[in-house]
Amino acid sequence: MPKRRMPNSDNAVVVDGVRKTFGSVVALADISFKVGRGEVLGLLGPNGAGKTTTVDILSTLTRPDRGHAEVAGHDVASDPAGVRRSIMLTGQQVAVDDMLTGRENLVMFGRLQGLKKSQARSRAKDLLDHFDLVDAADRSVGTYSGGMRRRIDIACGLVVRPEVVFLDEPTTGLDPRSRQSIWELVSDFKEAGIATLLTTQYLEEADALSDRIIVIDHGTIIAEGTADELKERTGATYCEIVPRDMKDLPAMAEALGSLLPEQNRAALTAGSDRIAMPAADGPNTLAEALYLLNAASIELVDIALRRPSLDDVFLALTSRENGDTSAMRVEPEESEGPSGRHRLERNGDTPVTRVEVGEPGDASGRHRLERNGDTSATRVEVGEPGDASGRHRLERTADTSATRSDAEVLP
Protein backbone atom coordinates (compact mmCIF):
# COMPACT_ATOMS: atom_id res chain seq x y z
CA MET A 1 0.00 0.00 0.00
CA PRO A 2 1.59 3.26 -0.99
CA LYS A 3 2.26 5.49 1.93
CA ARG A 4 0.15 8.53 2.20
CA ARG A 5 1.97 11.72 1.56
CA MET A 6 1.34 15.01 3.32
CA PRO A 7 -1.18 13.53 5.68
CA ASN A 8 -2.57 16.33 7.73
CA SER A 9 -0.07 19.08 7.82
CA ASP A 10 0.43 21.64 5.25
CA ASN A 11 4.08 21.62 5.93
CA ALA A 12 6.69 20.41 3.55
CA VAL A 13 9.29 20.01 6.26
CA VAL A 14 8.78 19.46 9.94
CA VAL A 15 11.69 19.34 12.35
CA ASP A 16 10.94 18.67 15.97
CA GLY A 17 13.46 18.51 18.75
CA VAL A 18 16.23 17.09 16.61
CA ARG A 19 19.53 16.46 18.23
CA LYS A 20 22.74 15.19 16.64
CA THR A 21 26.13 14.61 18.16
CA PHE A 22 29.31 13.60 16.43
CA GLY A 23 31.47 12.08 19.08
CA SER A 24 31.80 14.81 21.65
CA VAL A 25 30.74 17.61 19.36
CA VAL A 26 27.12 18.61 19.58
CA ALA A 27 26.26 19.55 16.03
CA LEU A 28 22.57 20.13 16.63
CA ALA A 29 21.07 20.69 20.03
CA ASP A 30 17.33 20.43 19.95
CA ILE A 31 16.19 22.37 16.94
CA SER A 32 12.64 22.67 15.72
CA PHE A 33 11.17 24.45 12.78
CA LYS A 34 8.74 24.03 9.94
CA VAL A 35 8.73 24.87 6.29
CA GLY A 36 5.41 25.34 4.63
CA ARG A 37 4.61 24.30 1.12
CA GLY A 38 5.87 26.76 -1.41
CA GLU A 39 7.83 28.57 1.26
CA VAL A 40 11.46 29.50 1.06
CA LEU A 41 13.23 29.13 4.37
CA GLY A 42 16.68 30.54 4.72
CA LEU A 43 19.04 28.84 7.12
CA LEU A 44 21.68 31.26 8.16
CA GLY A 45 24.69 30.65 10.29
CA PRO A 46 28.44 30.73 10.44
CA ASN A 47 30.57 27.78 9.51
CA GLY A 48 30.10 24.87 11.79
CA ALA A 49 26.77 26.16 13.02
CA GLY A 50 24.88 23.07 12.03
CA LYS A 51 23.30 24.12 8.76
CA THR A 52 24.78 21.32 6.71
CA THR A 53 24.01 18.79 9.43
CA THR A 54 20.39 19.88 9.34
CA VAL A 55 20.25 19.41 5.60
CA ASP A 56 22.01 16.07 5.90
CA ILE A 57 19.40 14.85 8.35
CA LEU A 58 16.53 16.01 6.19
CA SER A 59 17.97 14.36 3.10
CA THR A 60 18.56 11.05 4.92
CA LEU A 61 22.32 11.30 4.77
CA THR A 62 22.50 11.37 8.54
CA ARG A 63 20.30 9.95 11.23
CA PRO A 64 19.26 12.18 14.09
CA ASP A 65 20.09 10.97 17.57
CA ARG A 66 16.84 12.23 18.99
CA GLY A 67 13.80 13.98 17.76
CA HIS A 68 11.61 13.74 14.78
CA ALA A 69 11.84 15.08 11.26
CA GLU A 70 9.49 14.79 8.35
CA VAL A 71 9.92 15.72 4.76
CA ALA A 72 6.87 15.80 2.50
CA GLY A 73 5.06 13.79 5.09
CA HIS A 74 7.64 11.02 5.25
CA ASP A 75 9.54 10.42 8.43
CA VAL A 76 13.28 10.53 7.80
CA ALA A 77 13.98 7.69 10.16
CA SER A 78 11.23 5.25 9.32
CA ASP A 79 10.56 6.06 5.68
CA PRO A 80 13.79 7.36 4.20
CA ALA A 81 12.87 5.91 0.82
CA GLY A 82 9.79 8.11 0.76
CA VAL A 83 11.87 11.13 1.62
CA ARG A 84 14.28 10.36 -1.19
CA ARG A 85 11.44 10.18 -3.66
CA SER A 86 10.34 13.68 -2.76
CA ILE A 87 13.45 15.75 -2.55
CA MET A 88 16.17 17.31 -4.55
CA LEU A 89 19.47 17.98 -2.90
CA THR A 90 22.20 20.28 -4.09
CA GLY A 91 25.20 20.23 -1.86
CA GLN A 92 28.08 22.59 -1.57
CA GLN A 93 30.04 20.46 -3.98
CA VAL A 94 28.69 19.91 -7.42
CA ALA A 95 28.03 16.20 -7.43
CA VAL A 96 27.52 14.91 -10.91
CA ASP A 97 29.68 12.53 -12.86
CA ASP A 98 32.23 14.83 -14.39
CA MET A 99 33.36 12.36 -17.00
CA LEU A 100 29.93 12.05 -18.53
CA THR A 101 28.41 14.73 -20.68
CA GLY A 102 25.68 16.98 -19.38
CA ARG A 103 23.09 15.15 -21.40
CA GLU A 104 24.29 11.75 -20.24
CA ASN A 105 24.12 12.87 -16.65
CA LEU A 106 20.57 14.12 -17.06
CA VAL A 107 19.43 10.94 -18.76
CA MET A 108 21.07 8.83 -16.08
CA PHE A 109 19.45 10.74 -13.24
CA GLY A 110 16.15 10.51 -15.01
CA ARG A 111 16.36 6.80 -15.52
CA LEU A 112 17.50 6.25 -11.97
CA GLN A 113 14.33 7.91 -10.82
CA GLY A 114 12.15 5.67 -12.86
CA LEU A 115 11.72 7.45 -16.16
CA LYS A 116 11.80 5.37 -19.30
CA LYS A 117 14.68 6.04 -21.60
CA SER A 118 12.68 8.11 -24.06
CA GLN A 119 11.10 10.11 -21.27
CA ALA A 120 14.47 10.71 -19.70
CA ARG A 121 15.84 11.90 -23.01
CA SER A 122 13.09 14.38 -23.58
CA ARG A 123 13.32 15.67 -20.02
CA ALA A 124 17.03 16.09 -20.56
CA LYS A 125 16.35 18.12 -23.65
CA ASP A 126 13.86 20.35 -21.85
CA LEU A 127 16.19 20.93 -18.96
CA LEU A 128 19.16 21.67 -21.19
CA ASP A 129 17.04 24.28 -22.93
CA HIS A 130 15.80 25.81 -19.75
CA PHE A 131 19.21 26.03 -18.16
CA ASP A 132 20.87 27.26 -21.30
CA LEU A 133 23.25 24.35 -21.56
CA VAL A 134 22.41 23.15 -25.04
CA ASP A 135 25.76 24.05 -26.53
CA ALA A 136 27.63 22.29 -23.79
CA ALA A 137 25.27 19.35 -23.58
CA ASP A 138 27.59 16.93 -25.27
CA ARG A 139 30.77 17.95 -23.58
CA SER A 140 31.86 16.29 -20.40
CA VAL A 141 30.87 18.12 -17.26
CA GLY A 142 34.48 18.30 -16.21
CA THR A 143 34.99 20.95 -18.88
CA TYR A 144 32.19 23.18 -17.65
CA SER A 145 32.70 26.46 -15.89
CA GLY A 146 31.66 26.87 -12.24
CA GLY A 147 28.30 28.39 -13.06
CA MET A 148 27.52 25.74 -15.65
CA ARG A 149 28.42 22.98 -13.25
CA ARG A 150 26.06 24.37 -10.69
CA ARG A 151 23.31 24.60 -13.29
CA ILE A 152 23.73 21.03 -14.46
CA ASP A 153 23.84 19.97 -10.84
CA ILE A 154 20.48 21.55 -10.18
CA ALA A 155 19.06 20.35 -13.48
CA CYS A 156 19.91 16.80 -12.55
CA GLY A 157 17.87 17.23 -9.44
CA LEU A 158 14.87 18.45 -11.37
CA VAL A 159 14.40 15.67 -13.90
CA VAL A 160 11.54 14.55 -11.77
CA ARG A 161 9.61 17.15 -9.89
CA PRO A 162 10.57 17.25 -6.25
CA GLU A 163 8.37 18.48 -3.48
CA VAL A 164 11.12 19.85 -1.36
CA VAL A 165 14.37 21.31 -2.55
CA PHE A 166 17.47 21.58 -0.38
CA LEU A 167 19.99 24.09 -1.58
CA ASP A 168 23.15 23.96 0.49
CA GLU A 169 25.13 27.12 -0.20
CA PRO A 170 24.21 27.05 -3.87
CA THR A 171 25.91 30.21 -4.98
CA THR A 172 29.21 29.92 -3.17
CA GLY A 173 31.99 30.69 -5.54
CA LEU A 174 29.80 31.70 -8.44
CA ASP A 175 30.08 34.81 -10.51
CA PRO A 176 27.30 37.37 -10.09
CA ARG A 177 25.50 36.37 -13.25
CA SER A 178 25.32 32.74 -12.28
CA ARG A 179 24.26 33.73 -8.83
CA GLN A 180 21.47 35.77 -10.31
CA SER A 181 20.20 32.84 -12.32
CA ILE A 182 20.14 30.68 -9.21
CA TRP A 183 18.14 33.35 -7.46
CA GLU A 184 15.63 33.34 -10.28
CA LEU A 185 15.41 29.62 -9.97
CA VAL A 186 14.45 29.85 -6.34
CA SER A 187 11.59 32.14 -7.17
CA ASP A 188 10.56 29.66 -9.86
CA PHE A 189 10.42 27.00 -7.18
CA LYS A 190 8.24 29.21 -5.11
CA GLU A 191 5.85 29.83 -7.94
CA ALA A 192 5.65 26.14 -8.63
CA GLY A 193 4.69 25.44 -5.04
CA ILE A 194 7.91 23.66 -4.21
CA ALA A 195 9.24 24.23 -0.72
CA THR A 196 12.85 25.34 -0.52
CA LEU A 197 15.29 25.11 2.31
CA LEU A 198 18.21 27.32 1.50
CA THR A 199 21.37 27.46 3.52
CA THR A 200 23.70 30.27 2.86
CA GLN A 201 26.37 32.44 4.33
CA TYR A 202 25.49 35.33 2.09
CA LEU A 203 23.23 37.51 4.07
CA GLU A 204 21.87 39.46 1.16
CA GLU A 205 20.96 36.17 -0.45
CA ALA A 206 18.96 35.10 2.57
CA ASP A 207 17.43 38.53 2.64
CA ALA A 208 16.44 38.56 -1.00
CA LEU A 209 15.21 35.01 -1.36
CA SER A 210 13.77 33.82 1.90
CA ASP A 211 10.26 34.18 3.16
CA ARG A 212 11.57 33.37 6.57
CA ILE A 213 14.99 33.11 8.06
CA ILE A 214 16.30 30.92 10.80
CA VAL A 215 19.60 31.84 12.34
CA ILE A 216 21.55 28.91 13.68
CA ASP A 217 24.67 29.01 15.73
CA HIS A 218 26.37 26.23 17.64
CA GLY A 219 23.52 23.92 16.82
CA THR A 220 20.69 25.98 18.22
CA ILE A 221 18.26 28.36 16.65
CA ILE A 222 19.01 31.77 17.98
CA ALA A 223 16.54 33.74 15.94
CA GLU A 224 13.66 33.14 13.65
CA GLY A 225 11.53 35.45 11.61
CA THR A 226 11.32 37.36 8.39
CA ALA A 227 14.27 39.39 7.35
CA ASP A 228 12.46 42.55 8.31
CA GLU A 229 11.57 41.21 11.72
CA LEU A 230 15.15 40.29 12.39
CA LYS A 231 16.38 43.64 11.34
CA GLU A 232 13.83 45.33 13.54
CA ARG A 233 15.17 43.43 16.45
CA THR A 234 18.55 44.86 16.11
CA GLY A 235 17.25 48.36 16.15
CA ALA A 236 15.15 50.52 13.94
CA THR A 237 16.27 52.96 11.36
CA TYR A 238 18.03 56.00 12.59
CA CYS A 239 19.32 59.09 10.99
CA GLU A 240 22.93 60.03 11.35
CA ILE A 241 24.10 63.58 10.74
CA VAL A 242 27.73 64.60 10.63
CA PRO A 243 28.54 68.31 10.59
CA ARG A 244 31.56 69.69 8.92
CA ASP A 245 32.58 71.43 12.08
CA MET A 246 32.15 69.64 15.36
CA LYS A 247 31.58 72.86 17.13
CA ASP A 248 28.35 73.22 15.24
CA LEU A 249 26.79 70.40 17.14
CA PRO A 250 24.92 72.45 19.73
CA ALA A 251 23.63 74.69 16.97
CA MET A 252 22.51 71.66 15.06
CA ALA A 253 20.77 70.28 18.05
CA GLU A 254 18.91 73.51 18.44
CA ALA A 255 18.04 73.76 14.79
CA LEU A 256 16.55 70.32 14.75
CA GLY A 257 14.26 71.29 17.56
CA SER A 258 11.57 68.75 18.22
CA LEU A 259 12.89 66.41 15.64
CA LEU A 260 15.65 65.54 18.01
CA PRO A 261 14.30 63.75 21.05
CA GLU A 262 15.46 64.60 24.53
CA GLN A 263 17.50 61.51 25.03
CA ASN A 264 19.53 62.10 21.98
CA ARG A 265 20.08 65.67 22.90
CA ALA A 266 21.22 64.68 26.31
CA ALA A 267 23.43 62.04 24.83
CA LEU A 268 25.57 64.59 23.09
CA THR A 269 28.82 64.97 24.86
CA ALA A 270 31.80 67.16 24.31
CA GLY A 271 33.41 64.46 22.32
CA SER A 272 30.52 63.70 19.98
CA ASP A 273 31.12 64.26 16.35
CA ARG A 274 27.69 63.43 15.04
CA ILE A 275 24.05 63.34 15.90
CA ALA A 276 22.10 60.14 15.78
CA MET A 277 18.38 60.32 16.08
CA PRO A 278 15.50 58.01 15.42
CA ALA A 279 14.04 58.24 11.98
CA ALA A 280 10.56 57.07 12.56
CA ASP A 281 9.44 58.36 9.21
CA GLY A 282 12.44 57.19 7.42
CA PRO A 283 13.27 59.39 4.46
CA ASN A 284 10.80 62.00 5.54
CA THR A 285 12.62 62.55 8.77
CA LEU A 286 15.80 62.89 6.87
CA ALA A 287 14.28 65.42 4.49
CA GLU A 288 12.95 67.43 7.33
CA ALA A 289 16.23 67.39 9.18
CA LEU A 290 17.99 68.52 6.07
CA TYR A 291 15.55 71.35 5.63
CA LEU A 292 15.93 72.53 9.17
CA LEU A 293 19.67 72.37 9.10
CA ASN A 294 19.79 74.12 5.79
CA ALA A 295 17.67 76.87 7.17
CA ALA A 296 20.16 77.24 9.98
CA SER A 297 22.98 77.28 7.44
CA ILE A 298 24.88 74.53 9.09
CA GLU A 299 27.28 72.76 6.82
CA LEU A 300 27.14 69.02 6.81
CA VAL A 301 29.55 66.37 5.72
CA ASP A 302 27.15 63.48 5.79
CA ILE A 303 23.54 62.79 6.47
CA ALA A 304 22.19 59.29 6.07
CA LEU A 305 19.59 56.81 7.08
CA ARG A 306 21.15 53.87 8.71
CA ARG A 307 19.29 50.68 9.04
CA PRO A 308 20.81 47.65 10.57
CA SER A 309 21.49 45.24 7.81
CA LEU A 310 21.12 41.56 8.15
CA ASP A 311 24.85 41.59 8.64
CA ASP A 312 24.39 43.56 11.83
CA VAL A 313 21.64 41.22 12.91
CA PHE A 314 23.78 38.26 12.24
CA LEU A 315 26.84 39.58 13.92
CA ALA A 316 24.87 40.86 16.83
CA LEU A 317 23.05 37.60 17.30
CA THR A 318 26.01 35.36 16.90
CA SER A 319 28.35 37.47 18.91
CA ARG A 320 25.92 37.45 21.74
CA GLU A 321 25.72 33.73 21.53
CA ASN A 322 29.40 33.66 21.97
CA GLY A 323 28.99 35.29 25.29
CA ASP A 324 29.93 38.73 24.20
CA THR A 325 29.78 40.51 27.47
CA SER A 326 29.84 44.10 26.33
CA ALA A 327 26.16 43.94 25.92
CA MET A 328 24.18 46.51 27.71
CA ARG A 329 24.33 49.33 30.02
CA VAL A 330 21.38 50.70 31.85
CA GLU A 331 21.81 54.12 33.30
CA PRO A 332 19.10 55.58 35.36
CA GLU A 333 18.22 59.03 34.25
CA GLU A 334 16.69 59.92 37.50
CA SER A 335 18.96 59.42 40.34
CA GLU A 336 16.40 58.32 42.84
CA GLY A 337 14.85 54.98 42.46
CA PRO A 338 14.97 52.45 39.75
CA SER A 339 11.63 53.50 38.43
CA GLY A 340 11.40 55.71 35.42
CA ARG A 341 13.45 56.14 32.40
CA HIS A 342 16.83 54.71 31.89
CA ARG A 343 19.06 55.04 29.02
CA LEU A 344 20.00 51.79 27.43
CA GLU A 345 23.33 51.81 25.78
CA ARG A 346 24.31 48.97 23.61
CA ASN A 347 27.82 48.14 22.62
CA GLY A 348 28.83 51.65 23.20
CA ASP A 349 26.41 53.37 20.89
CA THR A 350 23.09 54.74 21.89
CA PRO A 351 20.12 53.33 20.08
CA VAL A 352 17.87 55.34 22.28
CA THR A 353 16.02 52.78 24.22
CA ARG A 354 13.95 53.29 27.26
CA VAL A 355 13.62 51.05 30.22
CA GLU A 356 10.52 51.39 32.26
CA VAL A 357 10.87 49.68 35.52
CA GLY A 358 7.66 47.83 36.24
CA GLU A 359 8.09 47.38 39.90
CA PRO A 360 9.35 50.44 41.59
CA GLY A 361 11.50 50.19 44.61
CA ASP A 362 13.16 47.06 43.57
CA ALA A 363 15.85 47.10 40.99
CA SER A 364 15.91 43.42 40.80
CA GLY A 365 13.33 41.52 38.81
CA ARG A 366 11.47 42.27 35.72
CA HIS A 367 11.45 45.50 33.95
CA ARG A 368 9.68 46.34 30.84
CA LEU A 369 11.90 47.42 28.02
CA GLU A 370 10.36 49.87 25.75
CA ARG A 371 12.16 50.68 22.61
CA ASN A 372 11.59 53.75 20.61
CA GLY A 373 8.05 53.93 21.75
CA ASP A 374 6.98 50.44 20.87
CA THR A 375 6.87 47.83 23.47
CA SER A 376 8.57 44.75 22.32
CA ALA A 377 7.97 43.19 25.69
CA THR A 378 11.49 42.66 26.69
CA ARG A 379 12.66 41.83 30.07
CA VAL A 380 15.62 43.24 31.86
CA GLU A 381 16.87 41.33 34.78
CA VAL A 382 18.99 43.36 37.00
CA GLY A 383 21.84 41.40 38.41
CA GLU A 384 22.70 43.43 41.37
CA PRO A 385 19.72 44.14 43.55
CA GLY A 386 19.43 47.51 45.07
CA ASP A 387 21.33 49.29 42.39
CA ALA A 388 19.79 50.05 39.09
CA SER A 389 22.97 51.54 37.84
CA GLY A 390 25.55 49.55 35.99
CA ARG A 391 25.31 46.62 33.70
CA HIS A 392 22.37 44.34 33.63
CA ARG A 393 21.51 41.18 31.96
CA LEU A 394 19.18 41.66 29.06
CA GLU A 395 16.85 38.89 28.10
CA ARG A 396 14.70 39.48 25.16
CA THR A 397 11.51 37.54 24.79
CA ALA A 398 9.89 39.11 21.81
CA ASP A 399 8.95 35.68 20.66
CA THR A 400 9.51 32.24 21.97
CA SER A 401 13.03 31.95 20.68
CA ALA A 402 14.37 33.56 23.79
CA THR A 403 17.54 35.31 22.96
CA ARG A 404 19.87 35.87 25.77
CA SER A 405 22.71 38.14 26.11
CA ASP A 406 24.84 37.72 29.10
CA ALA A 407 26.18 40.97 30.28
CA GLU A 408 28.89 41.36 32.73
CA VAL A 409 27.73 42.56 36.06
CA LEU A 410 29.95 45.21 37.46
CA PRO A 411 30.53 45.34 41.13
Contact residues for other proteins (CB under 8 A)?
A: 2, 5-6, 20, 22, 38, 53, 56, 59-63, 81, 84-85, 87, 89, 91-100, 104, 108-109, 111-116, 119, 123, 126-127, 129-131, 140, 158-161, 163, 185, 188, 191-194
CB of 211 to other proteins, least distance (A): 16
For the bound state, the minimum distance from the C-beta of residue 103 to other proteins, rounded and expressed in Å, comes to 12
CA–CA distance, 89 with 158 (Å, rounded to integer): 10
Smallest distance from other proteins to CB 123, Å: 6
Cβ distance to other proteins smaller for residue 99 or 402: 99
What is the maximum alpha-carbon separation in the chain? 84
Q: How many CB atoms lie within 10 A of CB 330?
A: 25
* Nearest-angstrom CA–CA distance, 381 and 404: 11
Give 5 or 306: the residue with its C-beta nearer to other proteins.
5
b/e code 296-318 from CB counts within 10 Å (16+ = b): eebebeebeeeebebebbbbbbb
- The alpha-carbon radius of gyration of the chain (Å, integer) is 26
Distance CA 396, CA 317 (A): 12
Number of residues that make up the chain: 411
Closest by alpha carbon to 223, among 404, 401, 41? 401
Residue 410 beta carbon to other proteins: minimum distance, rounded to whole angstroms: 32
In the bound state with other proteins, the residue whose beta carbon lies nearer, of 114 and 360, is 114
Smaller CB distance to other proteins: residue 68 or 84? Answer: 84
Give least dist CB 105 to other proteins, A: 9
Find the shortest distance in angstroms from Cβ 291 to other proteins. 48
In 308-373, at which residue ranges do the beta strands (DSSP E only) sit? 328-332, 342-346, 349-356, 368-371
In the bound state with other proteins, the residue whose beta carbon lies nearer, of 63 and 244, is 63
In the complex with other proteins, the residue whose CB is nearer, 100 or 242, is 100
